[in-house]
A and B are shown apart, each in its own frame.
Chain A
């Protein structure tokens, strides 16, 4: 911090000289960053356009209705191909919601500990470690799920196989954890000290303060964090592909095998003949996935903006 202070002071000195050259530089830098910002919008629109244009032939050939009609996803069927995405969408939401059920309580508790309870040294150690979780390659987590976690799940719940939606949910929950912890911690830390002081002064215990004052005050941030975590979970591919079994049947419970939209694309994209209806249908699956994650992220943003407490 001390170092930063010195630098800041030096810059201030330079600014006082206020050369035209400096202003020009400043402008250029501003433009550069604006262009970068615009670029991401252009890329986003480009992806949307690509998905839409590539999926149009499938929409014409198969028809929008058939993608959402009851049935199965089996474009390479022995007899008649079917293109129903219903079970895939169900699977996607099951894994997404399941991962939240696992990750939100854990993540919020963890964030509360980091922000409110832990000393600065514990925080310094724990926070990077949690962030390392985000760096575990998804294929490693998937393998872990297949070989280690699924037999444990099977044993605990007395199932024949632990390769199911629950397995995928837990693994994806682990992946979403760093996002949720980090954002929720920011939200909790943003609650002004005066709230804490007031609560404690009124005779509330630390536990009561956290539960009744701080968490409600940080709620919008926590919800936004959870939804961003869900956005991440819905799009997760490799782990889910390896851990959930990818069965096409309608999942009845978390103990059934599911196939998600993203896993479906990953499974079939490698071998699909270019330009076939199957190929274009996969782009439509991608478009639906894109819309789902877009809506989730948008909702997260709206919640965060609208209900943000202005401290």
Chain B
């Protein structure tokens, strides 16, 4: 009451109403977009696309201007791994260029989030940088979903430090001890006398789980900062002279060059051995770099139609070339055999 009676009252009410109106309009347009979000691009090209789809044409030839709600473009929903999101986005873009009737939406959120969404049946493909756990598979089957794993790329998890850090190489043992919080000063591993700032991911991350199980084999130090994504870790380590973090290899380089402010350390299996850089292809394919992993996609049942086309595109020579361009690595023979088994 008080506010209303003041001289400002009318003006503020006007402003308030205005903001409310804007909000309402925004909400309405956004819910409108929600259904269209799957197919924002082909809108302009809709007439052509639909002309190709015989069903739609027969049903409603005059509604070409609107959204193809009936048979329209096929849409594929992909969610999960933050490490994979940019890579899969790029693959999807190239694929959509050539298959205009397919719409692929790729979102991140972490491997755990993607797997949870696959279990709930809300997406078609879950990106995951770790294998599914036993209880996750059981939970999915209980929901009538049969997870089928596909390996589509290889990742070398890079351990990055600030570009100004003199430490060039670390062993897996040392890295484990650093992230468990047992080594807390850089001088213990041949660096300057300064505390170590730990940057890791959050528990919904596949990289977090992978790193914990293969490198730490124990719990992360409670001092570790839990960052939301690979890019956040790169950002934080480039700002912190004492920082160390782990990210998917695709986030270390940009157009073939290491991003400014950070430096991937060379990693050896045991202390005292030669360390190998993760940004050199031969070190990964030759099995010299010790922290590598396949990147997974989980499907619901054997793929069919557009999903199958997309998976085959990823596994094709062209798909693998794009993966290499994006800073990740192509599949090994073992991975290919795994896929044959899985998709058979």
List A residues at the B interface (Cβ < 8 Å).
Answer: 1, 4, 72, 74, 76-79, 87, 120, 123-124, 127-128, 131, 135, 146-147, 150-151, 154, 160-163, 186, 189-190, 241-242, 245-250, 257, 259, 267-268, 270-274
| B: interface residue count bin | 35 or more
Known: A150-B239, A154-B239, A270-B109. Is A161-B136 also a contact (CB below 8 A)? no
Q: Which residue of B lies closest to A159 (CB)?
A: B240
Beyond the given A78-B212, A271-B110, could you list 17 further A-B residue pairs with CB under 8 A, ordered by the A residue number? Answer: A76-B209, A124-B8, A128-B15, A146-B232, A154-B240, A160-B240, A160-B242, A161-B225, A161-B242, A245-B225, A249-B222, A268-B204, A270-B109, A271-B116, A271-B204, A272-B112, A273-B116
Q: Which 5 A-B pairs have the closest CB atoms?
A: A271-B112, A245-B225, A271-B204, A249-B222, A246-B226
CA distance A309 to B185 in the complex (A): 58
**Using Cβ atoms and an 8 Å threshold, which residues of chain B touch A72?**
222
The interface bits of chain B over 220-239 (1 if a CB of A lies within 8 angstroms of the residue's CB, else 0) are: 01111111100010011001
- Contact at B219–A78, with CB atoms within 8 Å? yes
**Using Cβ atoms and an 8 Å threshold, which residues of chain A touch B224?**
247-248
Task: Let me know if B115 is at the binding interface, CB within 8 A.
Answer: yes
**Using Cβ atoms and an 8 Å threshold, which residues of chain A touch B110?**
270-271
Can you show 29 pairs from A to B with CB atoms below 8 A apart? A76-B209, A78-B213, A78-B217, A124-B11, A131-B15, A146-B235, A147-B235, A150-B239, A154-B240, A160-B197, A160-B241, A161-B240, A161-B243, A163-B236, A186-B3, A189-B2, A242-B228, A245-B225, A246-B226, A247-B224, A247-B226, A249-B222, A267-B202, A267-B204, A270-B112, A270-B204, A271-B112, A271-B203, A272-B112
CA distance A147 to B228 in the complex (A): 13
CA distance A267 to B109 in the complex (A): 10
- Contact at A78–B197, with CB atoms within 8 Å? no
**Using Cβ atoms and an 8 Å threshold, which residues of chain A touch B204?**
267-268, 270-271
List B residues at the A interface (Cβ < 8 Å).
Answer: 2-3, 6-12, 15, 19, 109-113, 115-116, 135-136, 139, 194-195, 197, 202-204, 209, 212-213, 216-219, 221-228, 232, 235-236, 239-243
**Using Cβ atoms and an 8 Å threshold, which residues of chain B touch A150?**
239
Q: Which residue of B lies closest to A162 (CB)?
A: B239
Query: Separation in Å of the A195 CB from the closest CB of chain B?
Result: 16
CA distance A131 to B110 in the complex (A): 34
Q: Which residue of B lies closest to A1 (CB)?
A: B10
**Using Cβ atoms and an 8 Å threshold, which residues of chain A touch B116?**
270-273
**Using Cβ atoms and an 8 Å threshold, which residues of chain A touch B8?**
120, 123-124, 127
Query: Separation in Å of the B270 CB from the closest CB of chain A?
Result: 21
CA distance A90 to B264 in the complex (A): 35
**Using Cβ atoms and an 8 Å threshold, which residues of chain B touch A127?**
8, 12
CA distance A302 to B243 in the complex (A): 47
Query: Separation in Å of the B123 CB from the closest CB of chain A?
Result: 13
CA distance A274 to B116 in the complex (A): 9
- Contact at A273–B202, with CB atoms within 8 Å? no
- Contact at A161–B197, with CB atoms within 8 Å? yes
- Contact at B113–A270, with CB atoms within 8 Å? yes
Query: Separation in Å of the A187 CB from the closest CB of chain B?
Result: 9
Query: Separation in Å of the B260 CB from the closest CB of chain A?
Result: 14
Q: Which residue of B lies closest to A150 (CB)?
A: B239
**Using Cβ atoms and an 8 Å threshold, which residues of chain B touch A147?**
235
Q: Please indicate which of the listed interface residues B222, B232, B240 has the most CB atoms of chain A within 10 Å of its own CB.
A: B222
Query: Separation in Å of the B5 CB from the closest CB of chain A?
Result: 10
Q: Which residue of B lies closest to A142 (CB)?
A: B228
From A74, A257, A271, contact of B219 by CB (8 A): A74
CA distance A135 to B2 in the complex (A): 23
Q: Please indicate which of the listed interface residues B19, B194, B224, B226 has the most CB atoms of chain A within 10 Å of its own CB.
A: B226
CA distance A150 to B197 in the complex (A): 14
Q: Please indicate which of the listed interface residues A154, A160, A250 has the most CB atoms of chain B within 10 Å of its own CB.
A: A160
Query: Separation in Å of the B176 CB from the closest CB of chain A?
Result: 11
- Contact at B218–A79, with CB atoms within 8 Å? yes
CA distance A7 to B101 in the complex (A): 58
CA distance A246 to B200 in the complex (A): 10
CA distance A161 to B8 in the complex (A): 44
Q: Which residue of B lies closest to A244 (CB)?
A: B225
- Contact at A120–B228, with CB atoms within 8 Å? no
- Contact at B218–A78, with CB atoms within 8 Å? yes
**Using Cβ atoms and an 8 Å threshold, which residues of chain B touch A259?**
226
Query: Separation in Å of the B179 CB from the closest CB of chain A?
Result: 11
